Amino acid sequence: MVRKVGYLTIDDSPTADFRNKVKHLVSKEIPAIFFCRGDRLEERSEDAIFAIKQGFILGNHSFDHPQFSEIPLKECFSQIRQTDEILERIYEEAGVKRPGKLFRFPYGDKGSGLDAELGWPDDKDTRLFMQGIQNYLKRLGYAQPIFENISYKWYNDAGLAKDFDMYWTYYSFDCEVAEYRESGTKSSLGYYHLRTIIDRMDEDVPEGCRGLNYRRSNDIILVHDYPGIEDIFIPLIRAFLKKGIYFKLPIFM
């Protein structure tokens, strides 16, 4: 049987629980990419250095997590540049060479206000806005590493493998648990507590972003380092391992 590979990516770091997550992943020998907010890196730079020295990779997740489709292009550039400079400094302080420059948009909003799974708008101005951000990422040296065997049609049709930011193929819906706990708002799709998001892993809809059971493609998996759901991180990782996911890092050129 073909072994299912998962590339673990964790957004919104570093929070107060960040070190606990790092230590747990180390104990399970699971590598990961943490996409970090610049404002949180400034508050917890020692935690970030600790993670780097443990072999984890830190990526850029903007400075303070705005919707890029709702701010001017120059502000998009500033959000990227500020955090890039912070990451450069943190890697230097850690004494570790930065393996590559990785960026993930907050909310996955590449500037259109739409999820990639839904396709991109035909509006010319929006497309130019999105391309402007991509050009800026390229100019700063951002690029995707190599993710082997990501073969979902929706992912490739959206051109995600060719962009200069990193998207995902499987979202854990853990933030919907946080929203439910904070406000009582249930996800319209019915995923809003730990049991429901673990049950979701058994769904077999490869072209509907639920392909963990599909052995013909690997997955870029998204979970969060987010306040209020610290208790579900370890059960989520345990559930991925129970599914037979083998975690590794992508290839950096």
Summarize pLDDT for 159-168 with one digit per residue, the tens.
999 999 999 9
What distance in Å separates the CA atoms of residue 31 and residue 25, rounded to the nearest whole number?
7
In a domain, 253, yes or no: no
Characterize 67-85 residue by residue with b for buried, 16 or more Cβ atoms within 10 angstroms of its Cβ, and e for exposed.
Answer: ebbeeeeeebbebbebbbe
Phi then psi dihedrals of residue 224, to 5 deg: -125, 150
Question: What count of residues does the chain have?
Answer: 253
The number of distinct structural domains making up the chain is 1
In a domain, 25, yes or no: yes
- Contact in structure between 221 and 170 (CB atoms under 8 Å): yes
Summarize pLDDT for 205-231 with one digit per residue, the tens.
999 999 999 999 999 999 999 999 999
Provide, rounded to the nearest whole percent, the portion of the chain with pLDDT above 90: 93
pLDDT at 119 over 90: no
In a domain, 252, yes or no: no
Output the domain CATH number for residue 101: 3.20.20.370
| Domain housing 173 | 5-247
In a domain, 67, yes or no: yes
pLDDT of residue 1: 60
Spatial CA neighbour of 220 closest among 10, 29, 1: 10
In a domain, 232, yes or no: yes
Summarize pLDDT for 20-44 with one digit per residue, the tens.
999 999 999 999 999 999 999 999 9
Summarize pLDDT for 54-99 with one digit per residue, the tens.
999 999 999 999 999 999 999 999 999 999 999 999 999 999 999 9
